[in-house]
Amino acid sequence: MKNIYQLSAFMENRKGQLSDILSVLSEHGIDLRALNVAEVSDYGVLRLIADDPEKAQRALTEAGFVIAVNPVFAVAVPDRPGGLSELLQLLAADGVDIDYMYSVFGHKDGTAYMIIAAKNMQTMQASLDRNNIPAADSLALGI
Amino acid sequence: MEKRYYQPEIETMPAEKLRELQSQRLRRQVKHVYENVPYYREKMREKGIGPDDVRGLEDLAKLPFLSKADLRDAYPYGLLAKPLSECVRIQSTSGTTGKRVVSGYTQADIDAWEECCARAIVAAGGTKEDVCQVCYGYGLFTGGPGLNGGSHKVGCLTLPMSSGNTDRQLQFMVDLGSTILCCTPSYAAYLAESLKERGLTDKIRLKAGIFGAEAWSEEMRRNIEKDLGIKAYNIYGLTEMAGPGVSYECEEQQGMHICEDQYIAEIVDPVTLEPLPPGSKGELVFTSLTRQASPLIRYRTKDICILDDTPCACGRTHIRMSRPMGRSDDMMVIKGVNVFPSQIETVLLEQGYPANYQIIVDRADNTDSIEIRVEIPGESFTGSLATVTEMEKQLTAAVKAMLGIYAKIRLVAPRSIERSEGKAVRVIDRRKI
Ligand SMILES: [Zn+2]
């Protein structure tokens, strides 16, 4: 599979949690490619794509954060009206069950990518292959 | 055929006869205490009663309570009901909190105590063919001397190991073929672990364990039973009531039979001190019926538990008590319901959470609220928000099932709750501020 690795951090919903996490990363010279927060009332999950996922995981775990690492796909969104909708329809037609997604810009060329986490990553890979949609590798995102 | 009871005529005595025996012994004991312990005589006078007002069990509630504070006030000999020349032994509590409490014994007291321990050993399947390894501490602590004496009475080959020196414990367990292990449950778990590490697990001959002197869970029992290949029996006691053997489990493992020929057990409301019927949760109160040197009437144990007076399949007629569920000192009344931190701890451990938590009780618009801050176990975090929400939901339901009231669960990061030795920091009661 041509996926990239995303870090998820458990966050309590209190002041300073996000900046605590970000300062740990910057102290270790880790760059962020993308950032997304999903939350309910008391807690949330911070999702991030770092330039060095392994190092980021180590640094955050040592700092006492709860971290999970999951594979996700980064898919380039066609740069035209309705591009994202088309992509999602193709995936849905193949029975891909999307957990969540968020956008990120490519490292060099500024292409817009969607980070997509699916319930079944194999199904999604097959669908991407069938529809000839390339998933970006780490390089495109500068990882 | 295996002997099922140590003293069958007592252990299976019909309930009615047992109550009669208790009434008769209570009358005698109250008279003995009134005549020989000025401290208690004064307490009875304050309540306006004398020994003639106690004709039997029905008058028990007229009698004043004793607490640990009374025992400390009376230290060392203030509550002794026999001259020192008649006493043959002193045992004492560990004294981790405040002044030590000492308990005196006549020879008859020692015999009665050891017989209770012998009942526990026989209930655990012990006979004179057994090798009984006692690794409770010997000395002032009652664990070692009590089980040692009981083991002698049963006729087991007794190994008075005392606590510690794990290598020697394991060597004797293997070489001398111990079949019954008496120690704290945490030490039993540690011995099981050590056996595994040394590859000795299949070299032991243990069949039963008699574990007590500290709180332990059903899950811990199952683990010890599996790891040692034994049946694990719970035993309960307190120095103020002689020591271990006040109650013990039979093969049914459904609560501990209280030696009711020796002790009257009551459950009282910890706040109002009103006696509660069997099946109610409350503070356990004991009256010793035969102890001569240090007889205690209506002694508040501070242990919270439930009594079960339904018949037991083992044939013993003596009432059963649950494991202590907490200490009355720690009890909180929230929305009119008694809540103990230990109940919350039990749920957390059962559900796979660390036992580091904080309880925040508050009141707004005359309504109590309780929030429990729980550290999320790092390994259970998958990165999915839905999973965390699901964990929170499950824990909320489990806590509600245990407490009977809704408590808000707040999952927090690991190691974010201050570690503390005492229980005080675990509970923040803002209603009192
Ligand atoms: Zn029984």
Query: Is residue B402 over pLDDT 50?
Result: yes
Maximum average pLDDT range among A112-116, B187-191, B376-380: B187-191
Q: Among A136-140, B208-212, B344-348, which stretch is predicted with the lowest mean pLDDT?
A: A136-140
Q: Among the ranges B66-70, B256-260, B422-426, which has the highest mean pLDDT value? A: B256-260
Q: How far apart are CA B152 and CA B88, in angstroms?
A: 18
Q: What is the pLDDT of residue B93?
A: 84
All structural domains of chain B with their residue ranges: 1-324, 332-429
pLDDT band at B19 (very low <50, low <70, confident <90, very high): very high
- Pick the most confident of A40-44, B100-104, B260-264, B300-304: B260-264
Give residue A9's pLDDT.
93
Question: B361 pLDDT exceeds 70?
Answer: yes
So what's the pLDDT on residue B336?
84
pLDDT band at B335 (very low <50, low <70, confident <90, very high): confident
φ and ψ at residue A32, rounded to 5 degrees = -100, 140
Position B254 scores a pLDDT of 96
Q: Are the CB atoms for B264 and B134 separated by under 8 Å?
A: no
Q: How far apart are the C-alpha atoms of B348 and A69, rounded to whole Å?
A: 26
Q: How far is CA B371 from the centre of its chain?
A: 29
CB contact (8 A) between residue B383 and residue A47: yes
Positive or negative, the CA dihedral B389, B390, B395, B401 is positive
Q: Shortest CA distance to B208 belongs to which of B195, B191, B224, B186?
A: B224
| Nearest in space to B348 (alpha carbons), one of B356, B360, B338, B340 | B356
Q: How far apart are CA A35 and CA A56, in angstroms?
A: 13
What is the Cα–Cα distance from B22 to B297, expressed in whole angstroms? Answer: 13
Maximal C-alpha separation, chain A: 45
pLDDT at B325: 86
Tokens of A132: 């000839």
d(CA B293, CA B305): 27
Average pLDDT over residues A22-45: 89
Q: Between B384 and B121, where is the model more confident?
A: B121
Whether pLDDT at A101 is above 70:
yes
Mean pLDDT across B65-88 = 94
Q: What is the CATH number assigned to the segment(s) B1-324?
A: 3.40.50.12780
Instruction: Tell me the chain B residues in contact with residue A38 when contact means C-beta distances shorter than 8 Å.
Output: 385
**CA separation (Å) from B45 to B40, B42, B49, B50, B224?**
9, 5, 6, 7, 50
What integer pLDDT is reported at residue A93 of this predicted model? 93
Residues from chain A contacting residue B376 (CB–CB below 8 Å): 10, 66
pLDDT at B97: 57
Residue contacts between A and B (CB atoms, under 8 Å): 47
Q: Which of A45, A65, A70 sits opposite B385 (nearest CB)?
A: A45
Grouping H, G, I as helix, E, B as strand and the rest as coil, residue B162 is coil
So what's the pLDDT on residue B1?
44
Q: Which residue of B has its CA nearest to A69?
A: B383
pLDDT band at B433 (very low <50, low <70, confident <90, very high): low
A1 touches chain B (CB under 8 A): no
Q: At what angle do helices B15-36 and B38-46 cross, to 10 degrees?
A: 110
**What is the pLDDT, as a whole number, of residue B70?**
93
The whole-angstrom separation of Cα B15 and Cα B22 is 10
What is the residue whose two structure tokens read 């508050």?
B362
The confidence score (pLDDT) of residue B182 equals 98
pLDDT at A142: 65
Between A3 and B313, the higher pLDDT residue: B313
CA of B251 to the centre of ligand 1 (A): 7
> Any chain A CB within 8 A of the CB of B387?
no
CB contact under 8 A, B383 and A8: yes
Does residue A83 belong to the interface with chain B, where contact is any CB pair within 8 Å? no
In terms of pLDDT, which residue wins out, A66 or A134? A66
Which residues does chain B have within 8 Å of residue A40's beta carbon, measured at their own beta carbons? 385, 389
Same CATH topology for B1-324 and B332-429?
A: no
**CATH node for B332-429:** 3.30.300.30
Could you tell me if A24 lies within 8 Å of chain B, comparing CB atoms? no
**Which of B383, B385, B415 is closest, CB to CB, to A40?**
B385
Give the pLDDT score at B280. 93
Residues of A within 8 A of B388 (CB-CB) are: 10, 43, 45
Given a cut of 70, is residue B189 above it in pLDDT?
yes
Query: Measured between beta carbons, which residues in chain A are less than 8 angstroms from residue B407?
Result: none
Residue B244 has φ and ψ, to the nearest 5°, of -60, 155
Confidence grade of residue A138 (pLDDT, cut at 50, 70, 90): low
CA of B303 to the centre of ligand 1 (A): 21
CATH superfamily of A73-130: ACT domain (3.30.70.260)
Report, at the CATH architecture level, how domain A5-71 is classified.
2-Layer Sandwich (3.30)
Q: Structure tokens of B86?
A: 């008649």
Domain-wise residue ranges, chain A: 5-71, 73-130
Minimal-distance CA residue of chain B relative to A117? B384
pLDDT at residue B422 is higher than 60:
no
Confidence category of residue B423, pLDDT binned at 50, 70, 90: very low
Q: What is the mean pLDDT of residues B228-249?
A: 97
With CB atoms and an 8 Å threshold, state whether B414 touches A39: no
Sign of the Cα pseudo-torsion (A136, A137, A138, A139, in order): negative
- Return the pLDDT at B424: 47
CA distance B294 to B29: 11
Q: Which of A23-37, B72-86, B214-228, B405-419 has the lowest mean pLDDT?
A: B405-419
